[in-house]
Each structure stands twice: as C-alpha cells, then as structure tokens.
Structure 1
Amino acid sequence: MRTGRWTSDTIGRWFAINIVVAVIIAAAMNAAFSAFAGVWAKPGLQDIGLVDEVAAVARILDGAPRDARAGLAASVSNDRYAVTWFPNDASLPIAIDASEFHQGRAKIRSLLGRPSARVVAYEPGDPDLHGRPETAYGLAISLSDRSWVRFVAPQRSWGLSPTARTLLTVGFAVVCALLVAALASRRLARPLERFARQAQRFGADVNAPPMQTTGPLEIRLAAQAFNEMQARVQRYVADRTTMLAAISHDLRAPLTRMRLRGEFIEDEEQQRKLFRDVDEMQAMVDASLEFFRDDSEQEPTTRFMLSELIETVLDDFRDAGHDVAFDTPGSVTYVGRPLTLRRAVANLVDNAVKYGARAHVRLRPGDGWIDILVDDEGPGIPEALREAVFRPFYRIEGSRNRQTGGVGLGLAAVRSAVRGHGGDIVLDTAPGGGLRVHVKLPYVADA
C-alpha cells in the first residue's frame, strides 16, 4: 500500500479539523442568534412606552419655574435613565443636528403639542461634540424657552430581565454546541461504524464482499488488513471444500470394496457384523461430509417469512404422524439463509419428536432479536452435558445412542447454522420437565 500521500489524512487530523469547524460553526450560530435576538428581544423605544414617559417629564419641566428645573430633573431620575436640565444650546454636551430618530421625534412633538420642538437622539458609537463615540443611549428635548432636558440610559431595554436574557443566550449556546458536537462526532464515527458492520457481516457470511478502503489513514489500513484476512479465510474455506470432496471420493471407494469382499464371507454372523460396521462408517462419512459442506458453502441471504418456513417444516412432521405444535404471534419476516435455517429447525424438531415424543415450537420476535423455542417431553439432558452435546460426534449413552439414529452431528450443525447468522443456541429445562432448545437470532439488515 502506498501511504505517502495519505500520511496527513489521519484520525488525529480529522479530529482537529472537526473541532475547528465545530467551534467556527458554533461561534457563527451564536453571533447570528445575538444579532437576531438584538432585533427580536430589544423592542423599539415607542414599543416600551419610553417616548410617552420622557414626553410627560418634559412637559412637567417645561411648566416648572426655570430655577427649579435642575433639581426637579434630578428628582425624576431612576434606574432606567438619568435626567439632566441644561439652560441653553451651548451647555448641551451633544451634537444638536445629529439624529435619525424620525418617528419618535414626531410622536414627542405631538405629545408636547409643539410641532417645532427640537428632539435629538443618539446611541453608543455616535460622535459627541468632540468627535469621540458616545457610550450610552441619550435623548434630548428642547423646552419652550430653548433650554434642554436630556435623558441618558446606560443600555437599551430588551423587554426581558437580565437573568432571563442571560439564560436564553446560554441555553442557545449550549444547544448549538451539542448540535455541532453531535454532527462532528457522527462524521468521525461513520468510518468505524462501517468497519464494524462489515466485520459483523463477514461473521455471518464468509462470502461477503470486501470492505471499502475509505476514511482516515488508520481506518484504510485496518480495512485493507481486514480484506486480506477475509481473502485468506475464503481461500481456506474453498481449499477445505476441495479437500472434503477428495475425502468423499477416497473413503467411499474402500468402503465399497469392503462390502463386495464381505459377500464372499461364508460365516453369516461375521458377514452381518461387517456389513453393519460398513454401513455405520458410510453413514458417518456421509453425515460428516454433509456437515462440513453445509458449514462451508454459504447460500446468499434473502428476506423471507420465518414463520412460514417453520410452519412448512412442522407440516412435514405432521404428515409423518408426529405430534408437533407451533405458537407464533403472526407473520415474522427475517433476513438470512432460509435453507440453512430450515435444516437447523428440522434437526431440532426431529430430535424433539425422536427423544421427547412431541415438539412444541414457539416463535417470539423481540427488540432486535428473534427467539425460537423448541420444547419436548423427553428425559432432557443433564446440565453438565449441555455444552458437550454440541461437539461433533458426541453422543449421550442411553436413550440417545447409536441405535436410535444419528452420528452426533445434529446439534453441532444447528449451532454452526445459528452462529453463522450471528446468533446462538442454548439448552435448558422445559417448563414441563423435558428439554428446551433456545435459539436466539438477531435481526439482520438488508444487504
């Protein structure tokens, strides 16, 4: 693999870029919110009743004696604005001709009843008489004797309390940070999620296609190593299938010769024993080859009705005169290999009717899983042997012996099929005292 041109495209670089982009987006969203909130939450002066209030104060001062106006102005000051009276234009410390308060000016003139009254408004940043920027909001109104009354507010009213405004701003900042963090982490986690899904798919299907080598450098290197491992496993499975085909051919020939030579044995008892051994060896060879062939030759996955598949299996047993029952909540759809699961269910039901007289199958779809329960009414399996029976060729002496059929590969084949779908199988005691086989299959997404 040529990694020289990829060395800068690493997970660390992805993290750094995503963090920087997340910070920039969060800052931009906060700035946009502040600008929007400044318009939405900070109402106009006329909307909060301030124009009416200052006009009323100006009328009171205009009607008061001139020498009492300064003290009266100071007395009406409050925490919202400070009021100051100035005797003439020269004493007013603001530029009289600098104002864009058109609508408010007209309303103040109307409230004062003096259409020619001069009204000056300014805000932070507007130049004062000396060219320096103003630091507060101000409104000056000329009285009838050409004196002035000025209202100065340190800040505009937002229509909200400072606590509510702070909580609103902090809440929006937190929401923005969480949203951006979720998007960034999702982008970073996506390559790892693809890797995990592909690994799960390969665990359930040895013939799954190779993984795409996309994402950061470390993910691409891991994907390439995974593809190489998958190719080796597939070659191993193919080679094993070829070897088993050769074994099948090589073993059947001497067994056939043994049977032919046994025809010339005059002792009928010895001949019967030989034929019995040959038949048993033939059955073991056939069962072994079928087991390994089923384990290696994976059929393609497809969507099918699992409930109907089980019902079809049970119908075959009913036709053969066996006592079987099926309990399902309705139609259950599954994505998997139907022929493989059909053989697995048939194996379990066959064991139940063979060793437990009857089979009761229950299908229970759950949250992300499908449970298949197969109960019988037989002697069950001791707890100490419930793991051993899954080993190939292992048989419990007694009721489950060689004369009852089978060579000890049934449960091993079932476990192989179930685990090939990403599930598992366990043995337990049925409520009625027999054996309960619990198959747990995960829901599998469409390929």
Structure 2
Amino acid sequence: MRRVLFPLLPRSLLARNIALLVALVALAQVCSLTVLLHYVQRPRIERAAIIFADYVKTLDGVFAAMPADEGRAAAARLGGQTQLPEHTGLEPSPSAIRFFRTYQRDVFVEALQRYLPPDIPVRWQSGDGERLWIRVHVAGGPRWIALPMTEDAHASGIAMTLALSAGLALLAALTGYLIQLHINRPLQDLARAARRVSAGDAPVALPTDGPTEIAQVSRAFNQMTLALQQAEATRALMLAGVSHDIRTPLTKLRLAMAMAIPRGADDTFVASAEGYLDQIDTILQQFMDYAGSGEREVPQPGDLNALVGQLAADFAGLGHEFELLPGDIPVFAFRPVSVMRLLMNLMQNAVVYGRTGLFVRTWTEGDSAYVAVCDRGSGISAEELEQLKAPFSRGRNARGHSGGTGLGLAIVERIARLHGGSLQFRPRDGGGLEAVVALPLNRHSA
C-alpha cells in the first residue's frame, strides 16, 4: 500500500502539508455537516412533520364532516383536483448541488407520510413552483389539495451554512499556506547556502532566531561551515608551507650538484639527476597550485576563446597541435590565471594520455560558456576519470608517467567550482574522451 500511495503524494513539503491541511479541513466539514443534518436538522424536521400531520388530519376531518356540496366548493377554493398533475412525484436528475436542497424536503415528506393514515397519501411537486399535494376525503371521494411551499420550507438556511463552511475551509487552507511559506523560507535559505558550500563559496551565516527546530539546524550548519573553512585554511597553509620549505633545500641541492659534478662527467647521469629535480619541482608546484586554486584572484572580464588560442599556440610550439573550433562566446568575468591553469591541466592530460585527435571547442548554452578538451586516447573510461577528481587519485594508465601527484583533475575541479561551474567527462563520438568545463556567464564571483 505504501508503494502505491507514495508516488501519488506531492513532492514538496509545502504541497504535502497544504494537501494534508485541506484534507483535514474537508474531513472536519463533512463530519460537522453529518452531525448537523442527522442530529440537528432531522429532529427539527420530524417535529414539524408531526405538527403538520395533525393539521392535515384535522383538515381531512373537517372536509369529511361537511355536506357534499359545501365540501366540494371548499375544496375547489383550495384548488382541489380529482387527479394529480402529470409531473407530480418526478424527481430531477441527481446533483450534488441539489442534494442539500432536497434532503430536508425528502425527510419531511417521509416523516409526514409516516404520521398520516395510509389513506391520506402526500406527493411533492417539483418544478417552477414547489407544492405539497395531499389527498383528503371530500363528500366521500378523494380530492388532491395543493399547498404551496416557500423556499425556506426546505432550505432553512442550509445553503448559507454550506457557503460559510466552504469559506472557512478556504480561509484555513490559505492561512496554512502562508504559515508553511514562512516555515519553508529558512529551509530554502539552508538549501541555497548548502549549494554555495558545494560550489566552493563561503556562505553568509544563517539566522538562528526562527523556530526552535529550524534554529538548531541553522546553528549546526553554521558550525559545519566554520569547521570546513578552518580545515580548508589549515590544509592550504600546510600544503603551501611544505611546498615552500622543500623548495629551499631543493634549490641548494641543485646548486650543490652543479658545483660538485666536474665538467666532462657522465652527461647521462647529470641529465637524469636534473630530470629528477625537475620532477620534484613540478610536484611541488602542483601542491602549491592545489593549495591556492585562485581563491584570492579577482575575476575580471576576459575573452575565453583568446585564452584557448594562446594555450593552443604554446602547445603547438612544443610539437602538440590542437585543432580548435571556437564558438561565439561573449566577454565575461573569470579568474584568468586560474582558468589558464585549468585549461593547461586538461590539455596536458590530453597530450600525455590521449596523444592523438587533440581538439578543443567552445560554445555557449543557456547562461554558461563551455570548453571541451578532446582526444582519441584509450585505456581509461569517463567513469574512472570522474573518480580521479578526488585529490591524490591516479589512474591505472598513469603508472608509466612520472612526475604526477594525482592533483591535476582535482585542481581543475576546484577551479571550476570556484567559478560556480562544473567538470564532466563523457565519451567522444568516434572514440576517445572529452572533458567538458562549464563556466557561468553572469555569476559574480567573490
């Protein structure tokens, strides 16, 4: 039953609470109406039917005791007929609106017939004029006499009661809606703040002066945000400090080797040693890049296509040709150094692991600019690359490549999130992979 009913429920908490409130108000109105009709209106109608039955029996006795001519004349003055009209007793088609109008009439006629003798039947005529037909005995024969019934005879204020109940139900639903909106506002602020944390921003502290339950959640979120900021600052300081401190003895080691190795020594050994030192320096630079990632860099308007073209020319000078397909991207604000680092990491990965089919394209879609760095490499899937976004993660095809720390894609991911964007990997048509970076065009980065 739960599996059947759960998909039918509204998705949002606001809609569910409003639906529950409307259902409870409707149930309360139905119960109140049932009590009103069964325990209030019905006894009143039956008492009125008893009094009316006594009146009809008295009227029938008077007609029966009158001489024939006088009785027929009196019945004629009251519109007496020997036969009922053709449409008497026909009920209109059922209608929810007419139900409340006809309920009291039906109860009245049923009670009246119960308190009258069997030889005095009654019929209700519906139509343009509401009439109650009663068969009395006049001069030894039956005569049908019509008594006009006014609207209040069968309405008795029930229509106004129903209208008032419906108005109160709508008022209760509207009040509940406004209250729920007031409760949902802190939750919406919490969701926005959580998205900012996910994007790498520092959100404004949430207010804690609301309802107790919401205030507790806001305080816990503020404490979590503060702890994350402190941990991030400690991590960045540690990485930057370690990288900086190691570079000092590294520089001294390079100088000592240059002074200690005599001229004419084994060139292979010298080149190998210098290569190792370069790898250590590259690793330290990656640590410093990851520790910084451009948080302090001020965004400024720039041409993304020009930046891509500049990097492609630099790679072409090193013997790696990238085919370009620039799209129509307007000038927008971004951190130029950080975005250049982002593109360099992706293009370097394409050169190292893809080798062929190097291609970069840019385009706009919606409110974002997109850059796709593509290659025709094989050996690593888009799913595995998604896992390599985590710091210090290296793929199985990286074992043959030295000088890496597993921070390249983590740096790209952090820079994209810093701009409010994203990094995704997907298979390229015809084979290979493409890394797609989305950067918002109209985001005001802090």
TM-score bin, normalised by smaller chain: 0.5 to 0.7
2:410 pairs, out of 412, 415, 418, with 412
Distance 1:288 1:182 in 2: 52
Q: Residue 250 of structure 1 aligns to a residue in which SS? A: helix
In structure 2, the CA distance between the partners of 1:444 and 1:358, relative to structure 1 (3 Å rule), is same
Shift of 1:254: 0.9
Segments of structure 1 that go 5 or more residues without pairing to the other structure are 1-14, 28-63, 85-148
Tell me the equivalent position of 1:102. Answer: none
Matched-pair contact (CA < 8 Å) for 2:424–2:436: yes
Q: Residue 208 of structure 2 aligns to a residue in which SS? A: coil
Tell me the equivalent position of 2:425. Answer: 427
Tell me the equivalent position of 1:124. Answer: none
Shift of 1:372: 5.0
AA partner of residue 242 (structure 2): I
1:237 pairs, out of 232, 236, 240, with 232
1:224 pairs, out of 212, 219, 232, with 219
Aligned pairs for 1:18-97 (under 5 A) are 68-72=76-80, 78-79=125-126, 80-82=129-131
In structure 2, the CA distance between the partners of 1:388 and 1:196, relative to structure 1 (3 Å rule), is closer
Tell me the equivalent position of 1:312. Answer: 306
In structure 2, the CA distance between the partners of 1:180 and 1:333, relative to structure 1 (3 Å rule), is farther
Tell me the equivalent position of 1:51. Answer: none
Tell me the equivalent position of 2:117. Answer: none
Matched-pair contact (CA < 8 Å) for 2:359–2:375: yes
Instruction: Report which of the two has the higher share of helix.
Output: 2
Tell me the equivalent position of 1:401. Answer: 401
AA partner of residue 81 (structure 1): E
Shift of 1:271: 3.4
Distance 2:154 2:343 in 1: 75
1:264 pairs, out of 260, 263, 266, with 260
Aligned pairs for 1:152-163 (under 5 A) are 152-155=149-152
AA partner of residue 408 (structure 2): G
Q: Residue 191 of structure 2 aligns to a residue in which SS? A: helix
Q: Residue 215 of structure 2 aligns to a residue in which SS? A: helix
Aligned pairs for 1:38-437 (under 5 A) are 68-72=76-80, 78-79=125-126, 80-82=129-131, 151-155=148-152, 179-262=174-257, 263-266=259-262, 267-269=265-267, 270-294=269-293, 297=295, 309-320=303-314, 321=316, 322-326=321-325, 328=327, 331=329, 340-352=338-350, 355-363=355-363, 365=365, 373-379=372-378, 381-382=380-381, 386=385, 389-390=388-389, 391-392=391-392, 394=394, 401-402=401-402, 408-419=406-417, 425-437=423-435
Deviates more, 1:180-189 or 1:334-343: 334-343
Distance 1:276 1:225 in 2: 50
Distance 1:238 1:440 in 2: 26
Deviates more, 1:429-438 or 1:416-425: 416-425
AA partner of residue 314 (structure 1): V
AA partner of residue 315 (structure 1): G
Distance 1:408 1:372 in 2: 22
CA shift digits 1:231-255 (9 cap, x unpaired): 2222232333333343233211211
In structure 2, the CA distance between the partners of 1:205 and 1:410, relative to structure 1 (3 Å rule), is closer
Q: Percent identity?
A: 26
Shift of 1:433: 1.4
AA partner of residue 255 (structure 1): L
CA shift digits 1:120-157 (9 cap, x unpaired): xxxxxxxxxxxxxxxxxxxxxxxxxxxxx985314399
Shift of 1:279: 2.1
AA partner of residue 281 (structure 1): I
Work out the number of aligned pairs and report it.
317
TM-score normalised by length of structure 2 = 0.54
Q: Residue 149 of structure 2 aligns to a residue in which SS? A: strand
In structure 2, the CA distance between the partners of 1:282 and 1:301, relative to structure 1 (3 Å rule), is closer
In structure 2, the CA distance between the partners of 1:323 and 1:259, relative to structure 1 (3 Å rule), is closer
Matched-pair contact (CA < 8 Å) for 2:200–2:417: no
Segments of structure 2 that go 5 or more residues without pairing to the other structure are 1-16, 30-71, 86-123, 134-145
Shift of 1:167: 11
